[in-house]
Chains A and B, each alone.
Chain A
Amino acid sequence: MASQHHDHTASHDEGQHHEGMSKGKIWRVFFYLLALTALEFFIALVLVHGGYVSKGLAVNTVYIVLTLVKAYYIVAYFMHLKFETFGFIMSVSIVFLFIIYFIVLMLTEGGYLNTHYNPSPFWPNP
C-alpha cells in the first residue's frame, strides 16, 4: 500500500515537468536523428566513396560531432534528462569529465606506442 502511494505521488510530480514531450515532439526528435544519420551516410557513401573528400581528421571530426549531437538528442529528449533538475543532470553527467581525460590519456599512449615501438624489430607490427 505504501509503495502504491509513493508511485502515485511520483507519477504526479513527473506529469508536471514532462509535459514537454508530446507525440509531435517525439516524432520531431526522431526526424532529427534520422536526418543526422542520413547525413553521416551521405558523407560516407557519396562524399568519401565518390572521392570528393578523403578519410582523415576533418571527416572524422565531422562524424564525431554528428555522433555527439545525436547522443545529446537521445539523452536530453528520449531519456528526458533535459527536463530534470540541474542538480540531477550534474550528478549523472559531470563524471564524464573523467572519460574525456581517459580518452586523451589513452590515445596519447597509443600514439606513443605507434611512433616508438613500431620501428623496433621486437614489436610484431605491422
Chain B
Amino acid sequence: MSTTVTELDKVKTGRWSGGRSPFNVEYGKIMMWFFLTSDAFTFSAFLIYYGTQRFAHITWPDPDKVFQSIPFVADYGYPLVFVGIMTFILIMSSVTMVLAVEAGHRNAKKEVVWWMIATIIGGLTFVGCQALEWTHLHHQGFWWGSIPGQEGVSPDVALAPYFTKEISEVAALQFANLFFTITGFHGFHVSIGILLNIIILGMTLAGTFERRGSYLMVEKVGLYWHFVDLVWVFVFTFFYLV
C-alpha cells in the first residue's frame, strides 16, 4: 500500500482553504464596512453632482460670503470661523470614539462609558451647530427651492452680497438646494450615529459587552461614526473651501 499522499488528499493550509476566517474580521464588522462603502457611493454621487453644477455655471455663490456668521456673536464678517469650530468638534468626537474602542480592547467598562458619553456630547453639539447655521441661512432666505429676494427687489440686488463674480439666480438656487440636501443628509447620518452611540452606551452600562467578553459592537458603531467624520471632511472642503 502506497503511503504517498495525492494532491487531492493533502490537508490544505492556505488562507482560503477553510477552517479559519480569511480576512480575520468578524462578520458584522465586514458588513458594516460594506455598508459604509455603499454609503460613500451615495455621498460621492451628491458631491459629484455639486461639482457638475459648479462646472456647468459661469458663476457660483462665494462660500466666504454665504457663510460668514457666528451665531450669537456676529451676523457677518467672520468667514469660515463657525464651520471651523464645527469641524473641530467632529474631529474631537472621532478621537473620543477611538479612545472608547481602545478602552474596549482592554475591557475597561468605566472608560468606555466616559468616552462614549464624550462622543455623544460631541455629536449633539455638532448637530446643534448645524441647526444654528441652517436657521441663519433660512432667515436670509435660502431654503430648498428658494433664494434671498422679495417682490419689487431685483435679484441682482438681493443676491449681490453672496457673489463675487457675476450674479446668477440659477446658480444660487442650485447652491441652496444642494447645500441643504447634502448637509441635511450628512446631519441625518450624524443623528443616526448619535442614536446608535446612545444604544451602545446603554448596552455598555447594562453590562452586555462585559458578559460577552468583547466590546466589538463599540468598534462597529465606531466605524460608522468615523465615516460620518470622513464625509464631513469632504463636505467641508467642497462646500466651504473650494
Residues of A within 8 A of B (CB): 4, 6-8, 10-11, 13-15, 17-18, 21-23, 26-27, 30, 33-34, 37, 40-41, 44-45, 49, 60, 63-64, 66-67, 70-71, 74-75, 78-79, 84-85, 87-88, 91-92, 95-96, 99, 102-103, 106-107, 109-111, 113-114, 117-118, 124-126
Contact-residue bracket for chain B: 35 or more
| Contact A118 B58, CB 8 Å, known A95-B37, A125-B168 | yes
Contact check: which of B26, B36, B168, B233 meets A7 at CB < 8 Å?
B26
In B36-57, which residues have CB < 8 Å from any A CB?
36-37, 40-41, 44-45, 48-49, 51-57
Contact B23 A87 (CB under 8 A): yes
Give the shortest distance, in Å, between A24 (CB) and chain B (any CB).
Answer: 10
Give the shortest distance, in Å, between A71 (CB) and chain B (any CB).
Answer: 6
Contact check: which of B49, B95, B167, B236 meets A27 at CB < 8 Å?
B95
Contact A60 B242 (CB under 8 A): yes
Question: How far apart are the CA atoms of A92 and B34 in the complex, in Å?
Answer: 7
Contact A74 B94 (CB under 8 A): yes
11 contacts between A and B (CB under 8 A): A6-B26, A14-B216, A23-B102, A27-B95, A33-B91, A41-B80, A49-B64, A64-B237, A74-B94, A78-B98, A96-B40
Instruction: Report B-chain residues with C-beta under 8 Å of the C-beta of A74.
Output: 94, 226, 229-230, 233
Instruction: Report A-chain residues with C-beta under 8 Å of the C-beta of B30.
Output: 88
Which A-chain residue is minimally distant from B167 (CB atoms)?
A: A126
Question: How far apart are the CA atoms of A64 and B216 in the complex, in Å?
Answer: 33
Give the shortest distance, in Å, between A9 (CB) and chain B (any CB).
Answer: 9
Contact B241 A125 (CB under 8 A): no
| Contact A45 B22, CB 8 Å, known A14-B216, A74-B230, A106-B48 | no
Max chain A CB contacts within 10 Å: which of B37, B56, B79, B219?
Answer: B56
Contact A67 B216 (CB under 8 A): no
B138 at the interface (CB under 8 A from A): no
Give the shortest distance, in Å, between A40 (CB) and chain B (any CB).
Answer: 6
Contact A79 B88 (CB under 8 A): no
Contact A126 B57 (CB under 8 A): yes
Give the shortest distance, in Å, between A43 (CB) and chain B (any CB).
Answer: 8
Give the shortest distance, in Å, between B38 (CB) and chain A (any CB).
Answer: 9
Instruction: Report B-chain residues with C-beta under 8 Å of the C-beta of A7.
Output: 26, 212-214, 216
Contact B99 A85 (CB under 8 A): no
| Contact A8 B105, CB 8 Å, known A63-B241, A111-B55 | no
B87 at the interface (CB under 8 A from A): yes
Question: How far apart are the CA atoms of A14 and B54 in the complex, in Å?
Answer: 44
Instruction: Report A-chain residues with C-beta under 8 Å of the C-beta of B222.
Output: 79
Instruction: Report B-chain residues with C-beta under 8 Å of the C-beta of A60.
Output: 242
Give the shortest distance, in Å, between A1 (CB) and chain B (any CB).
Answer: 11
Instruction: Report A-chain residues with C-beta under 8 Å of the C-beta of B241.
Output: 40, 44, 63
Contact B41 A45 (CB under 8 A): no
Give the shortest distance, in Å, between A11 (CB) and chain B (any CB).
Answer: 4
Contact check: which of B34, B59, B213, B216 meets A126 at CB < 8 Å?
B59
Question: How far apart are the CA atoms of A95 and B36 in the complex, in Å?
Answer: 12
Contact B234 A4 (CB under 8 A): no
